[in-house]
Amino acid sequence: MQEQIEQILIDRNQIAKRVRELADQIAADYRHLSDEASEDLPLVLIAIMTGSVIFLADLVRCLPMMMRMKLISVSSYPGTALSSQGVTITDELPDDLAGKHVLIVDDILDSGKTLMAIRSRVQQSSASSVRTCVLLRKDRPSARATPSEYVGFDIPDQFVVGYGLDYDDLYRNLPDVVTLRDEVIA
């Protein structure tokens, strides 16, 4: 696999440091929830699968607070597609979000369509608050125009894999965020 990598954009140490920083920021922003004594008030994280699974696991281990996790499957990069093919939400959102504080967690903010679609649906569920957290945000106008309260890294508008991101369901297990050689994705 290593011979297929063109460049390491963000190494595992940078990722680990930034995930801890994001968790600290999230914990500070939601500190009022830890003052509440009801189990109905923990933060609800909605993770967009499958790309966010590694980011989610590392992030939640750094959050010192009560939380619930819900997983939702969304498809926008089927198979060997290198750009978003539109958003297909394959799971229903949980129906118990009214009055809850919701944090949507995703791997990459690219076109913005996925986050906007999920955010809109969560807002329609009468959640008390809705914020988003992404590991990566691509340098493109649609990504910059999409609100995201927590952004791990801004990256060039390149196709990347690793740390949960894939190409044809491969490379998710790479510990760094990398680009692949042209002949691999041609």
Candidate list 58, 107, 110, 176, residue with the active-site label: 110
166 is catalytic: no
pLDDT in tens, 25-66: 999 999 877 655 555 567 999 999 989 999 999 999 999 988
At residue 31, the pLDDT reads 86
Q: Which residue has the higher pLDDT, 79 or 58?
A: 58
Percent of the chain with pLDDT over 90: 72
pLDDT in tens, 87-115: 666 667 777 899 999 999 999 999 999 99
At residue 88, the pLDDT reads 67
Using a cut of 0.85, tell me whether the model's pTM lies above it. Answer: yes
Looking at residues 115-128, what average pLDDT do you find? 92
Query: For all residues of the chain together, what is the average pLDDT?
Result: 89
At residue 76, the pLDDT reads 61
Considering only CA atoms, which of 134, 81, 126, 71 is closest in space to residue 106? 134
At residue 70, the pLDDT reads 92
At residue 80, the pLDDT reads 57
Q: Which residue has the higher pLDDT, 74 or 178?
A: 178
What domains can be seen in the chain, in order of their start residue?
Answer: 2-185 (3.40.50.2020)
